[in-house]
Structure 1
Amino acid sequence: MKSPVDDVRRRVQQDSLGHRGRRDDPLFRVRRLLRRRADRLTERGWDRLLAALAAGDVDQQIGLTWIAGQDLRAIFERRTRYAAEQHLHRWLTHCADTEIPELHRLARTIDAWRGELLAYFDTGGVSNGPTEAMNSLIKKVKRVGHGFRNFDNYRLRLLLHCGVDWQTPQPARIRGRLPRLAA
């Protein structure tokens, strides 16, 4: 998944080194750590991340963007909508005060979706995500199947891929008895 931290890292690497990230570049080596939540970093991960930022992030743009991402995640740890609104307002103000264009773009997007994001607190944390994931999986199975001609096969394939515990009913018998043999 593309993130503003990745965009800033790529831009900073291109500006400072003149090429895309390579295996030996310090920022390229920690690109996956930059996507991880702060509370999920091990002590070794913190050491690697801080060393890479010290070596490759000369104007602290990557570090500031990473901190902004962690702060954005913290909005959903708030207990009430009011506290989340206050935190979001501070976050948007912070992003507007920086000189990082990727953060400006992210802040505009988050501001446009403010109502939908804060609806998380009105619904008790209920999300439509599982439904959307299932719909995406159904569309993928249909696309891979190149158009099923038999609905029963399509249904079975969907049940198999979606991980549903299913029992296929026996088809109804067309004939009640065996045909007579004419000899």
Structure 2
Amino acid sequence: MCELLVGLPDVNVNGVGDWPHWLRIAITSRAERRRCPGCGGKVWLHGRAEVELVDLPCFGRPTRLVWSKQRCRCPNPTCGVITFVEHDERIAAVRAAITDRAGRWATFQVGNHGRAVSEVAKDLGCDWHTVMDAVVHHGRALIDDPKRIGITTAVGLDEVLFCRVGKFRHRAWSTQVVDVARGQLLDVVPGRDAAAGCAWFAARPVEWCEAIEWATLDLSGPYRAVFDTMIPHAVQIADPFHVVKLANHVLDECRRRVQNETLGHRGRKDDPLYRIRKLMTIAHERLDGDADAKLRGLLEAGDPRGEVRMAWHSKEVVRSIYEITDADLAAEFVTQLGIDLQDDSCPPEVQRFGRTITRWRHQIAAWHRARFTNGPTEAINNLVKRIKRVAFGISNWTNYRTRALLYAGHPNWSLLHPTPR
């Protein structure tokens, strides 16, 4: 009955002890006497060595599995092996401090459920590093599974702040490679420059890269260089959210400049332009009559040259790009819009925005052909940030990548079988 409760193959349960902080279960293996791993000959028994392993909780209490291993000695004087200790991978890995089944359970808890490593370590009654080492060990097979990354037609790139390092807290970034067609995190690479992204795509099979038809990105030059270099056949799509966000940023820059030029100070609560700073970022069709009247009246009062009004109109025109249903018409509209916004009558911020639209006109118009966005990439970024919040920050790159891919990378959890759930 005890052996049935322990649930390990080919072991004898010698005893169960009630210790102050955990249950202690003593076992020995029923395996036949092993042969020498060096020469393959018969060996002599040479005593026993006890190894204490962290095991799954038993009846709600932390448990320690004490394995009394048989030590053997090779009598062959020409053999390089003098003594060795029996080993069974089904119970625990070599030099592991945790049983195999407890390590798999901890990997599932941390990876699939997104639990904090400290919480799982508290349930097992062990050290944080014991659990994290087990998660990295068992998670490696899930992450490197060749079937995890399937064929896709659309990928996206975006960055997330990894951590702050050094005396001056310099920001270290990571780039997420995402399958936007299925909403799956494919991998995490260090930095947010083009080199790391190019290296990742170069390591993929040629046929996998050739299957990609669409590539989504925000208005990032390095990510554009990655797609231009590694998958030039894919059609690049500028994310609509980031295009409109940039238009709102241009409007805010223009408002702050006009504010300083007309009143000589930064915005204060009674200043006309400062009072409508949020109204101007709201879609015009969502404003009721009172809000629209307030917006136009305060623009008239605080914008004598009409520069902020022009920036506001340019933002609304950029939003109207995504109301067009015809792809060819949208391409012509974006091209002409980039030219019009560079007119000398426009504020300098709007002219700069027009040059940006001209550089990215093909990527902006491509959205009307595929309707893919970087939304799934941003959703994956949120999952990665959740892992960081649960961990109260991560500074070890291996731990960061492992936990992010286990949580958002869609691993095949059946590879951890048998895993208690």
Band of TM-score, shorter chain:
0.7 to 0.9
Query: Where do 4+ consecutive residues of structure 1 move more than 4 Å?
Result: 148-151
- For the pair 1:109 / 2:332, whether they are aligned, the reply is no
Which of 244, 251, 261 is the equivalent residue of 1:15? 261
What secondary structure sits across from 1:140 in the alignment? helix
Gaps of 5+ in 2: 1-244, 409-416
Which of 100, 104, 121 is the equivalent residue of 2:347? 100
Gaps of 5+ in 1: 160-168, 174-183
The residue identity in structure 1 corresponding to 2:280 is L
The residue number in structure 2 matching 1:142 is 387
What secondary structure sits across from 2:342 in the alignment? helix
Between the aligned partners of 1:96 and 1:126, the Cα distance in structure 2 is 28
Aligned-pair CA distance for 1:76: 1.3
Which of 62, 83, 90 is the equivalent residue of 2:329? 83
Report how many aligned residue pairs link the two structures.
159
Whether the 8 Å contact between 1:141 and 1:158 is mirrored in structure 2 is no
Q: Which has more helix, going by share of residues? A: 1
- For the pair 1:64 / 2:306, whether they are aligned, the reply is no
Between the aligned partners of 2:249 and 2:265, the Cα distance in structure 1 is 20
Root-mean-square deviation over aligned CA pairs: 2.7
Aligned-pair CA distance for 1:141: 2.4
Between the aligned partners of 1:150 and 1:63, the Cα distance in structure 2 is 50
Aligned-pair CA distance for 1:99: 3.5
> Aligned ranges for residues 24-43 of structure 1 at < 5 Å?
24-43=270-289
Whether the 8 Å contact between 2:310 and 2:346 is mirrored in structure 1 is no
1:77-111: per-residue Cα shift (whole Å, max 9, x none)? 11112211222233122211134111111112222
The residue number in structure 2 matching 1:130 is 375
1:43-96: per-residue Cα shift (whole Å, max 9, x none)? 011111011011000000000111111111111111112211222233122211
The residue identity in structure 1 corresponding to 2:320 is A
Percent of aligned pairs sharing the same letter: 28
C-alpha distance 4-41 of structure 1, shift in aligned 2 (>3 A): same
Between the aligned partners of 1:113 and 1:91, the Cα distance in structure 2 is 12
Greater Rg over alpha carbons, structure? 2
Q: Tell me the TM-score normalised to structure 1 length.
A: 0.76
C-alpha distance 158-28 of structure 1, shift in aligned 2 (>3 A): farther
Whether the 8 Å contact between 1:75 and 1:88 is mirrored in structure 2 is yes
Aligned-pair CA distance for 1:150: 8.9
The residue number in structure 2 matching 1:180 is none
